[in-house]
Structure 1
Amino acid sequence: MTDAVKTPWHLWVVGGLSLLWNAFPVVDFTLTNMQNPFWLSQYNDAQRAFFLGTPAWANFFWALGGFGSFIGSLLLLFRSRHAVTAFIASAVGLAGMTYYQLVLNGDTLKQLLGDLPLYSSIMIWAVLLALIYYARRQTAKGVLR
């Protein structure tokens, strides 16, 4: 049986690049929560204390955001329409982490890391919204099934 809709070349490019992009939050979450000494050595004591002091509810959103996007990228490569759902779940996680970092702890994070968290959040939101849009378009075209 052949597919009714041929897989466009850009699906492999977007899926592959997004998988690489979304591997970072999975690694970051895992190594930070395992308190890997090598990984945490990039931070000073105050920064380490902040990241290791993240409450459980924020860690939940961090995991949902990172793993959701990674799974969404895998589902893109598998041509599954459920990629949209995974990316939307990731957006819920990102919203929770954005609230924790920039709303509840914005001043603290600015003192610890400058403007990097703000600019990083803007970039992450832009990429995630683009991935949601892309996955929805590919679903509508019948590429994702």
Structure 2
Amino acid sequence: MTDAAKTPWHLWVVGGLSLLWNLFPAVDFTLTNMQNEFWLSQYNDAQRAFFLATPLWANIGWALGGFGSFAGSLLLLLRSRYAPTAFIVSAVGLAIVSYYQLVQNGDRMKQLLGDIPLYSTIIIWVVLLALLFYARAMKAKGVLR
């Protein structure tokens, strides 16, 4: 039996879909921090000012969260045993940015964007934890090397 035969078909589906899903936070972080006018045009002045005033520690969390998940998905597709670690790094980053947005600035976020940040954060946590558990299961089964 070859190495490729041991790879379940669902790894390619999960890996591919999660790579597309996790491309968004990487692009969002990059274009927002580059202050790309086209990207920021989706926000009004108050929203734009809030996102551009994000402190360094929260930006680091945002970067870890977004790029960690993107790396985790890529590592999953490469069948690397480091995929779960990348998803853990992403969870740490997501915890930091979730704290900044929903705990420290929850009222301001609600005023600027309504309930969207709360619901989107819940969805992101569910997807991230599912990817982490999936990657750990694939590692335990020997699919990730």
Question: TM-score, length-normalised on structure 1?
Answer: 0.98
> Is 1:142 paired with 2:145?
no
Aligned match of 2:7 = 7
* SS of residue in 2 equivalent to 1:142: coil
Stretches (4+) displaced over 3 A = none
Percent identity between the two aligned chains: 81
Query: In the superposition, relative to structure 1, how do residues 20 and 104 fare at CA in structure 2: closer, same or farther (>3 Å)?
Result: same
Root-mean-square deviation (Å): 1.2
Amino acid at match of 1:57: W
Give 1:5 deviation, angstroms.
Answer: 6.3
- Inter-partner Cα distance in structure 1 for 2:106 and 2:16: 33
> Is 1:37 paired with 2:29?
no
Q: 1:16-46 deviations in whole A, cap 9, x for unaligned?
A: 0000000000000000000000000000000
Aligned match of 1:114 = 114
- Inter-partner Cα distance in structure 2 for 1:70 and 1:4: 23
> Is 1:105 paired with 2:109?
no
Give 1:97 deviation, angstroms.
Answer: 0.3
Gaps of 5+ in 2: none
- Inter-partner Cα distance in structure 1 for 2:56 and 2:88: 21
- Inter-partner Cα distance in structure 2 for 1:5 and 1:76: 16
